[in-house]
Amino acid sequence: MSHAIELDFCVGDPTLPRGPQGYACKDPAKVTTDDFVYTGFRGEKTPNNVFGNNVTLAFSDVFPAFNGLGISMARLDFAIGGVVPVHSHRTSEVLILVKGSIIAGFIDTNNTAYYKRLEVGDVMVFPQAMLHFQINVGKTPATAYVSLNGANPALQLTPTALFAGNLPANIAQKITLLSRKEVMQMKRIFGTA
Amino acid sequence: MSHAIELDFCVGDPTLPRGPQGYACKDPAKVTTDDFVYTGFRGEKTPNNVFGNNVTLAFSDVFPAFNGLGISMARLDFAIGGVVPVHSHRTSEVLILVKGSIIAGFIDTNNTAYYKRLEVGDVMVFPQAMLHFQINVGKTPATAYVSLNGANPALQLTPTALFAGNLPANIAQKITLLSRKEVMQMKRIFGTA
Amino acid sequence: MSHAIELDFCVGDPTLPRGPQGYACKDPAKVTTDDFVYTGFRGEKTPNNVFGNNVTLAFSDVFPAFNGLGISMARLDFAIGGVVPVHSHRTSEVLILVKGSIIAGFIDTNNTAYYKRLEVGDVMVFPQAMLHFQINVGKTPATAYVSLNGANPALQLTPTALFAGNLPANIAQKITLLSRKEVMQMKRIFGTA
Amino acid sequence: MSHAIELDFCVGDPTLPRGPQGYACKDPAKVTTDDFVYTGFRGEKTPNNVFGNNVTLAFSDVFPAFNGLGISMARLDFAIGGVVPVHSHRTSEVLILVKGSIIAGFIDTNNTAYYKRLEVGDVMVFPQAMLHFQINVGKTPATAYVSLNGANPALQLTPTALFAGNLPANIAQKITLLSRKEVMQMKRIFGTA
Amino acid sequence: MSHAIELDFCVGDPTLPRGPQGYACKDPAKVTTDDFVYTGFRGEKTPNNVFGNNVTLAFSDVFPAFNGLGISMARLDFAIGGVVPVHSHRTSEVLILVKGSIIAGFIDTNNTAYYKRLEVGDVMVFPQAMLHFQINVGKTPATAYVSLNGANPALQLTPTALFAGNLPANIAQKITLLSRKEVMQMKRIFGTA
Amino acid sequence: MSHAIELDFCVGDPTLPRGPQGYACKDPAKVTTDDFVYTGFRGEKTPNNVFGNNVTLAFSDVFPAFNGLGISMARLDFAIGGVVPVHSHRTSEVLILVKGSIIAGFIDTNNTAYYKRLEVGDVMVFPQAMLHFQINVGKTPATAYVSLNGANPALQLTPTALFAGNLPANIAQKITLLSRKEVMQMKRIFGTA
């Protein structure tokens, strides 16, 4: 088994069967330069959710050129005081801050948190599968780009995983040690109470 | 680069430098059968922590024969009502229940929870890096064995990551949307308030 | 190329084309909790073959949730005096004994055998691709569970590979150094003489 | 063998032996948040070489936190008319343009070139090991960030590989089909004639 | 995720969808011994191109048994004075010379060239993705076999990538530092001027 | 985690600690071209063992340049009637016959044998971890080269694993179903009776 991709590129074709390593490849005869360029990060992105963020994922489902290449990107925009809540990925991630000032950090399996206020141009790495977060602590909006070493690296936000889906409140309470009252309050935030 | 291990075995030697793929190998001339057998799961395991569980990890640091082989195990013992709280690993995990009755489940990145009550002999798989949990819902103690496809696959418990270490309360609050009161209550549980 | 799976899960759909890394994925909209739970290990398993064993494989073909996750299981039941004959897999394997007493062992490429009598609760690891075996040496039936770090890790039993299939007797003799008489005796055991 | 890193992180220690998968790990007790933050991309970067570029590599040798995590970054600054000449890596690469306007492209193994003028915010992916390049075609300096899915993914510039090192002119000529005169002219550019 | 192939073999079926890790598998019921034997290297191979070589690739598209197994081969025949020009692959390569005498070499990312005259029976390794080349320096034709650790490892010849395809002359000139005159001369060699 | 090697090359230094992915790297400043060239296959190789073969392994322990690159080679010489007995590796293997005529084959996990008489120039692939063999069926000595996609892919010969080492006769008998008499005869061949 080779670790390398087994063809020059495999632009994903979502109409074909998908396997554990990604989509089947679009007919190479129909691939053009435009397949390799993603323009979805252009312009302003306005945070308008409960977290005060706007996360634009360029994973292989929206940018199929990443399929099979084991890399992807996302753009993070933060309102003043905005946050990307605690979350994890299947892969590692690197972030570069291009506007504003944020605190970024991760927590290791000894429960040690590593966090720091970043300036424009600073890079921080979040090791594979570790819980991490970003908080806009500046007086202006902030923007960062991240890259992850998977084409579809998953984004599992802890608060929404626990409170925004179909997990029953009594199970959520039991597996978090949170109070019933707080669990219901969280579920109200996400409209699942 | 081969995917295979590059020698028959590489029993870890924690006194030598450690790399990203594990420990350096113990001198093969000093390796005996006992290196390949782990006896730490024998006997009774009494849950005595706040979660009502007793988790015995057989990762490569305690069972160095796993080093480089990409596999490991753990034994989970549950008191009546005991729980392994929501957590994740770098790898996938498979569980087999050998005593009692538990609800086991995981949550995917669409916030969909998959959970079920298991009987003795049942197997459940938790995909790589997904949040998952186990709850003893029977009237007796319960025991399960799990195997993970990494020699040191990490165990990141969400509640302890957020509240049992050095993460400041104000950051924990900000990245979880929990109330200040609840964050402080959680930190009191883990003695970090 | 990422090492991680490129979606949360990929429950195998055997009706779709299969690739080197496994089956194509079942439509996620049709995946339910039951897909992630395997009940085929429940109950008693009676050894009734020439080896005195009953091997229940939970590989990705019978438990499609393993597809793409790189992990699988098997249950081994031994009659008194039963044996899992010498065999190998593409992957590594870990065994836990839950009933009875067996000798388990493997042989490395220096022809050194590592073998030991295991008690209930003992764990033994068999490194990737090494020949290994288990023998019930107790006075009762025995049961073990094994886990392997591949979804379909192969089970190649040396005696059946050589004598139970279409390999001609003269080739089997030549590549094993066994006597003609013994080769024919083995083929008679497996009904291929 | 697991695909995942076998510990939470492995900040490289260049004073210890290095293996095929990276450096040995710095003592975790001495790791601090600063190990995970790279500040070398701050400020202005002035192109001052023959190519009109300034390439700042953040590979694992200068940012040891990347060690074992399979990801890295670089900052590309272009003078007006500046270029990153044709080159390749062991890995795939993704680029985001943050200032100016460049043509970026790669060539596949059918000799087909895929190239396009990018605007600020545009992302382009260069598949693993394919020759690629960037040219500042705007009227101002330009800046881009790139990320690669290896901690030390190599940067092999074709012109310098052939003409700036110890490769004899007659071999360079023979393996490129270039004229003797041109080979010598190239070697003069790099001071090796 | 396992590093191993997830079935015994996966002879590629080019009529089915292809993914990043190779072709989907031919129906195993239709696989015969002939699928595993490649006869395309038999006999004499006459170099008749501009390089004085005849390169016979046994990659997975012509020998589908390699699909999913991460290995492939090629036969290199050299006229007197013939050359395999500078090129690279996604993978590593090993060469064994079986006739004649060649200089083989590669260039690392410090621009250091490692090259040597080989005798019959000599083996040389070219590390993953590094530029390398072979030149017949003997007085007779020469033949070598190479093996690469990918089923479809790519062959990117630098001269043809730059001058034999659709890359415009002005871009080729800009990204190589070559003179306009030389670029046009190269394009004339390959019929693209 | 990247699949690629994390430096240009890592010529193994057996005096340094060894990890699961290979040896630590020799000081690059001391690496010369000779490190990348293996001359141990030169000349005649005379089979003189009980199998009538002479197997010359070029694995990473004798050719340290293979270390970390995931590839290796071996030369197989057969006396008239000579055989490489049934064996397996951790990796896949490809064989090219350069002299004589042999039958080569492998057995899959359905006990189906795939075997064929090869002519000079023929290539056969043996999938990862499958039992395989070669028999000289011609009237002259024969020679083949093989390549494997691991730097140290293991060679486990079934007959010697079972009968030439420390495995007790009663265990060997039990796990093979062979007769006591035959087991003792085999052990006499290898001097372990």
Residue-wise pLDDT tens digits, C146-182: 999 999 999 999 999 999 999 999 999 999 999 999 9
- D147: closest CA of chain E, how far (Å): 18
Task: Please indicate if the annotation marks D3 as binding a ligand.
Answer: no
Q: Is residue D95 part of a domain?
A: yes
Residues B58 and B103 in one domain: yes
CA proximity to A60, closest of E153, B149, C4: C4
d(C-alpha C3, C-alpha F4), whole Å: 11
Task: Please indicate if the annotation marks D93 as binding a ligand.
Answer: yes
Assign B119 a pLDDT band (cuts: 50, 70, 90).
very high
- What's the pLDDT tens digit per position in C26-61? 999 999 999 999 999 999 999 989 999 999 999 999
Res D3: pLDDT: 59
Residues D65 and D130 in one domain: yes
Check whether A120 has a pLDDT greater than 80: yes
Average pLDDT, chain D: 96
Res C30: pLDDT: 97
Res A1: pLDDT: 32
d(C-alpha C188, C-alpha F25), whole Å: 53
d(C-alpha F55, C-alpha F143), whole Å: 10
- Our measurement of the distance from residue A181's CA atom to the centroid of its chain's CA atoms, rounded to an integer in Å, reads 29
Prediction pTM value? 0.97
Flag whether residue C19 sits within 8 Å of chain A, measured between CB atoms: yes
Check whether B2 has a pLDDT greater than 80: no
CB nearest E116 (choices: F37, F70, F94): F37
- Residue E154 and residue D181 in contact, taking contact as beta carbons nearer than 8 Å: no
What is the maximal distance between C-alpha atoms in chain C?
58
- Residue B145 and residue B95 in contact, taking contact as beta carbons nearer than 8 Å: yes
Q: Name residue B117's beta-bridge partners.
A: B103
Average pLDDT over residues D81-97: 98
The DSSP annotation for D146-186 comes to: EEESSSS---EEHHHHHHSSS--HHHHHHHH---HHHHHHH
What is the CATH classification number for the domain harbouring F113?
A: 2.60.120.10
Half-sphere exposure of residue F77, counting CA atoms within 13 Å on the CB side? 13
> Cβ–Cβ of E122/F72 closer than 8 Å?
no
> Cβ–Cβ of D107/E162 closer than 8 Å?
yes
Res D39: pLDDT: 98
| Chain A CA closest to residue E7 | A1
Task: Please indicate if the annotation marks E89 as binding a ligand.
Answer: yes
Q: Alpha helix locations (H) across B39-179? A: 158-163, 169-176
∠ CA D112-D118-D124, rounded to 5°:
60
d(C-alpha F158, C-alpha A105), whole Å: 53
Q: Is residue F5 part of a domain?
A: no
d(C-alpha C175, C-alpha B43), whole Å: 46
Assign E4 a pLDDT band (cuts: 50, 70, 90).
confident
> Cβ–Cβ of A129/B50 closer than 8 Å?
no
Give the residue from A13, A18, A57, A67 with the most C CB atoms within 10 Å of its CB, the best one to mutate: A18
Amino acid sitting at position A180? R
Average pLDDT over residues F83-99: 98
Residues B147 and B161 in one domain: no
d(C-alpha F134, C-alpha F86), whole Å: 8
Task: Please count the structural domains in chain A.
Answer: 2
- What's the pLDDT tens digit per position in B4-45? 799 999 999 999 989 999 999 999 999 999 999 999 999 999
User: What percent of chain A is predicted at pLDDT more than 90?
Assistant: 97
d(C-alpha B15, C-alpha D68), whole Å: 20
- Residue E130 and residue E158 in contact, taking contact as beta carbons nearer than 8 Å: no
d(C-alpha D87, C-alpha E31), whole Å: 42
Could you say which DSSP state residue F175 is in? H
Residues E80 and E163 in one domain: no
Hey, which bits of A59-150 come out as E strands?
Answer: 72-78, 83-88, 93-99, 102-107, 113-118, 123-126, 131-136, 142-148
- Residue B20 and residue D22 in contact, taking contact as beta carbons nearer than 8 Å: yes
d(C-alpha E30, C-alpha E12), whole Å: 12
d(C-alpha C10, C-alpha D5), whole Å: 22
Res C24: pLDDT: 97
Per CB-CB distance under 8 Å, the chain B contacts of D26 are: none
d(C-alpha E168, C-alpha A76), whole Å: 37
Check whether F174 has a pLDDT greater than 60: yes
Residues F120 and F166 in one domain: no
Q: How far is CA E119 from CA D140, E122, E142, E146, F35, in A?
A: 55, 6, 10, 15, 16
Per CB-CB distance under 8 Å, the chain E contacts of D156 are: 88, 107, 109, 129-131
Q: Is residue B88 part of a domain?
A: yes
Could you count the other beta carbons within 10 Å of the beta carbon of residue C44? 8
Residues B117 and B186 in one domain: no
Residues E93 and E137 in one domain: yes
- E17: closest CA of chain C, how far (Å): 8
Assign F1 a pLDDT band (cuts: 50, 70, 90).
very low
- Residue B188 and residue A136 in contact, taking contact as beta carbons nearer than 8 Å: no
3-state secondary structure labels for all residues of C44-71:
CCCCCCCCCEEEEEECCCCCHHHCCCCC
> Cβ–Cβ of E128/B4 closer than 8 Å?
no
Q: Is residue D12 part of a domain?
A: no
- What's the pLDDT tens digit per position in E72-123? 999 999 999 999 999 999 999 999 999 999 999 999 999 999 999 999 999 9
Which secondary structure element, helix H or strand E, spans residue F162, and what is its range?
Answer: helix F158-163
- A99: closest CA of chain D, how far (Å): 11
Residues C83 and C99 in one domain: yes
User: Quick one: tokens of B111?
Assistant: 């916030």
- Residue F113 and residue E31 in contact, taking contact as beta carbons nearer than 8 Å: no
> Cβ–Cβ of F150/B7 closer than 8 Å?
no
User: Burial code of F61-81, b = ≥16 C-beta within 10 A, e = fewer?
Assistant: bebbbbbbbbbbbbbbbbbee
Flag whether residue B22 sits within 8 Å of chain D, measured between CB atoms: yes
d(C-alpha C100, C-alpha C102), whole Å: 7
Per CB-CB distance under 8 Å, the chain C contacts of A1 are: 20
Which secondary structure element, helix H or strand E, spans residue E161, and what is its range?
Answer: helix E158-163
Average pLDDT over residues B143-147: 98
Torsion-angle region of A177 (φ positive above 0: left; ψ -120 to 50: alpha; else: beta) = left
Interface of D with C in 94-123 (CB under 8 A): none
d(C-alpha C59, C-alpha C152), whole Å: 5
d(C-alpha B100, C-alpha E104), whole Å: 66
Res C1: pLDDT: 33
Check whether D1 has a pLDDT greater than 70: no
Q: How far is CA E53 from CA B66, C60, E62, E112, in A?
A: 49, 46, 19, 25
d(C-alpha C76, C-alpha C65), whole Å: 21
Res B161: pLDDT: 98
What is the extent of the structural domain holding E82? 18-154
d(C-alpha F169, C-alpha F166), whole Å: 9
Q: How far is CA A139 from CA A100, A166, B155, B172, B174, in A?
A: 8, 37, 37, 21, 17
d(C-alpha A58, C-alpha A36), whole Å: 12
- Residue C95 and residue C146 in contact, taking contact as beta carbons nearer than 8 Å: yes
Average pLDDT over residues E156-169: 98
> Cβ–Cβ of B128/E1 closer than 8 Å?
yes
d(C-alpha F129, C-alpha F108), whole Å: 9
Which secondary structure element, helix H or strand E, spans residue E104, and what is its range?
Answer: strand E102-107
Interface of E with C in 39-68 (CB under 8 A): 67-68
Amino acid sitting at position F30? K
Flag whether residue C171 sits within 8 Å of chain E, measured between CB atoms: no
Q: Is residue C167 part of a domain?
A: yes
Q: How many residues are given for chain C?
A: 193
Q: Is residue B34 part of a domain?
A: yes
State the helix-helix crossing angle for A169-176 and A180-189, rounded to 10 degrees.
Answer: 120
Average pLDDT over residues D59-84: 98
Check whether F143 has a pLDDT greater than 80: yes
**What ipTM was assigned to the predicted interfaces of this complex?**
0.96
Q: Name residue F144's beta-bridge partners.
A: F76, F97
Average pLDDT over residues E161-188: 98
Res F4: pLDDT: 76
| Chain D CA closest to residue B5 | D1
> Cβ–Cβ of E108/F9 closer than 8 Å?
yes
Res A4: pLDDT: 77
d(C-alpha B151, C-alpha B153), whole Å: 6
Check whether A2 has a pLDDT greater than 60: no
> Cβ–Cβ of C21/E4 closer than 8 Å?
no
Per CB-CB distance under 8 Å, the chain E contacts of B149 are: 1-2
User: Quick one: tokens of C164?
Assistant: 């139970």
Hey, which bits of C20-170 come out as E strands?
Answer: 22-23, 37-38, 53-58, 72-78, 83-88, 93-99, 102-107, 113-118, 123-126, 131-136, 142-148, 156-157
Flag whether residue F92 sits within 8 Å of chain A, measured between CB atoms: yes
Check whether B90 has a pLDDT greater than 90: yes
Task: Please indicate if the annotation marks E3 as binding a ligand.
Answer: no
- Residue D23 and residue D16 in contact, taking contact as beta carbons nearer than 8 Å: yes
Check whether A167 has a pLDDT greater than 70: yes
Residues F95 and F187 in one domain: no
Check whether C3 has a pLDDT greater than 90: no
- What's the pLDDT tens digit per position in D133-160? 999 999 999 999 999 999 999 999 999 9
Average pLDDT over residues F52-62: 98
Q: Is residue E8 part of a domain?
A: no
Could you say which DSSP state residue B121 is in? T
Check whether D2 has a pLDDT greater than 90: no
- What's the pLDDT tens digit per position in F64-80? 999 999 999 999 999 99
Check whether F23 has a pLDDT greater than 70: yes
Average pLDDT over residues E165-174: 98
Residues E120 and E43 in one domain: yes
d(C-alpha E87, C-alpha E131), whole Å: 5
Residues C61 and C28 in one domain: yes
Q: Alpha helix locations (H) across D43-179? A: 158-163, 169-176
Check whether D40 has a pLDDT greater than 80: yes
> Cβ–Cβ of E69/A1 closer than 8 Å?
yes
d(C-alpha C95, C-alpha B56), whole Å: 16
Flag whether residue E145 sits within 8 Å of chain F, measured between CB atoms: yes
Q: How far is CA F125 from CA E10, E82, F129, F130, in A?
A: 12, 30, 12, 11
Residues D147 and D174 in one domain: no
Could you count the other beta carbons within 10 Å of the beta carbon of residue E147? 28
Assign E1 a pLDDT band (cuts: 50, 70, 90).
very low
Assign F101 a pLDDT band (cuts: 50, 70, 90).
very high
Question: Checking DSSP bridges between strand C93-99 and strand A37-38, what pairing results, if any?
Answer: unpaired
Flag whether residue F189 sits within 8 Å of chain C, measured between CB atoms: yes
Q: Is residue D8 part of a domain?
A: no
Q: 3-state DSSP call for residue F68?
A: coil
> Cβ–Cβ of E10/C1 closer than 8 Å?
no
